Structure 1
Amino acid sequence: MAATLPKRITKEIERLVKDPVPGIVAQPHEDNLRHFNVQMAGPTQSPFEGGEFRLELFLPEGYPMEPPMVRFLTRIYHPNIDKLGRICLDILKDKWSPALQIRTVLLSIQALLSAPNPDDPLDNGVAQHWKDNEKDAIATATAWTKQYAQPAPQ
């Protein structure tokens, strides 16, 4: 499998292993190096702090000309992430550039957790809650983090 992998992807995987992104672990599947299991720590001073979120990332055949496909597997209360875990983030859609890398995408998702944008929602109900009563929406996000995103016991 590795022989058919483009050099760019191989280099990105090597860099992720050698120089991991703080708070993020991205491991390619052994049987498909285009498919990654991702663990992302909730950013400090956010409603997601203390949570450990599971995501999946897939590099399509057209990568790096096409963006990776990423979604949350852990439930999360966020205006830019829907119930299926899909993420509303411009660099995963129309603002994608081949200059971006897997680590850039993961850092951008982590930044989105720190700064939800209810004006560009994927989940309209959560966005409206965020706009109408931000304090209560943050409390709900914190409760969901405690309920769904607890790290596995060591």
Structure 2
Amino acid sequence: MASQKRIAKELNECMSSPPEGMTVELADDEDVHKWHVTLAGPPGSVYSEGKFGVVVSLPSEYPFKPPTVTFATRIYHPNVTNDTLGNICLAALKPEAWKPATKLRAVLEAVRSLLVEPQPDDPLEGRIADEYRNDRGEFEKNVRAYIQRYAKGAAKFDAAPPTAAAGAPGNSNE
């Protein structure tokens, strides 16, 4: 199957020569459709002290349908849901914008670039986007608190619980 062949080729490329600040491995050696990516916070960014688990899930229709990319590690960011689901708002992953020629390496690099330069004008978390625009000091304080709580040590890829009652979106005490 062409999809499997392409996925295997891209996986091999990303594992042998990973994008900057990342390691890529399969979540399960038997399934090339789910990748675990460890993303080190980019140097010079407010996220630099963290290690973040990112999950890439490839649909059977890949590359004709986009992958789903989520943060397994909680992160305080305007373009990532502030819950255990870790959904990412990235224009290139929207079905209407997805191009089959897009490589997974470029997707991973785009996720990393969100940590360098958040996009507050296309947020998933409006409150965090407002804080980023209007009170950068408070935003950075909250990012550092999340890193201390969730992103120290090895990246974690624990399965997210089906509900996030204790960590509801918008709860800045998390």
TM-score by length of 1: 0.91
CA offsets per residue over residues 38-93 of structure 1, 9 Å max, x none? 11001111111021001111110111111110100111000000022000000110
**Corresponding residue for residue 80 of structure 2:** 81
Amino acid at match of 1:88: C
Amino acid at match of 2:88: I
C-alpha distance in 2 between matches for 1:49 and 1:97:
31
Summarize the Cα distance change of 1:4–1:105 in structure 2 as closer, same or farther, 3 Å threshold: closer
**Post-superposition offset of 1:22:** 2.1
CA contact (8 A) 1:37 1:54 kept: yes
Aligned-residue identity in percent: 37
Amino acid at match of 2:101: A
1:96 pairs with 2:98: yes
**Corresponding residue for residue 21 of structure 2:** 23
CA contact (8 A) 1:47 1:145 kept: no
**Corresponding residue for residue 11 of structure 1:** 9
Amino acid at match of 1:23: G
Please show how residues 69-148 of structure 1 align to structure 2 within 5 Å: 69-82=68-81, 83=83, 84-93=85-94, 94-148=96-150
SS in 1 for 2:31: coil
- The structure in which a higher percent of residues are helix is 1
SS in 2 for 1:118: coil
C-alpha distance in 2 between matches for 1:149 and 1:127:
21
CA contact (8 A) 1:47 1:139 kept: no
Count of aligned positions: 151
C-alpha distance in 1 between matches for 2:8 and 2:93:
21
C-alpha distance in 1 between matches for 2:97 and 2:18:
24
**Post-superposition offset of 1:5:** 5.7
**Post-superposition offset of 1:31:** 2.3
TM-score by length of 2: 0.81
**Post-superposition offset of 1:4:** 8.6
Q: Moved runs in structure 1, 4+ residues, more than 2 A? A: 3-6
**Post-superposition offset of 1:10:** 1.3
Amino acid at match of 1:74: T
CA contact (8 A) 2:3 2:60 kept: no
C-alpha distance in 1 between matches for 2:79 and 2:142:
15
C-alpha distance in 1 between matches for 2:149 and 2:4:
40
SS in 2 for 1:33: strand
SS in 2 for 1:60: coil
SS in 1 for 2:32: coil
Please show how residues 52-63 of structure 1 align to structure 2 within 5 Å: 52-63=51-62
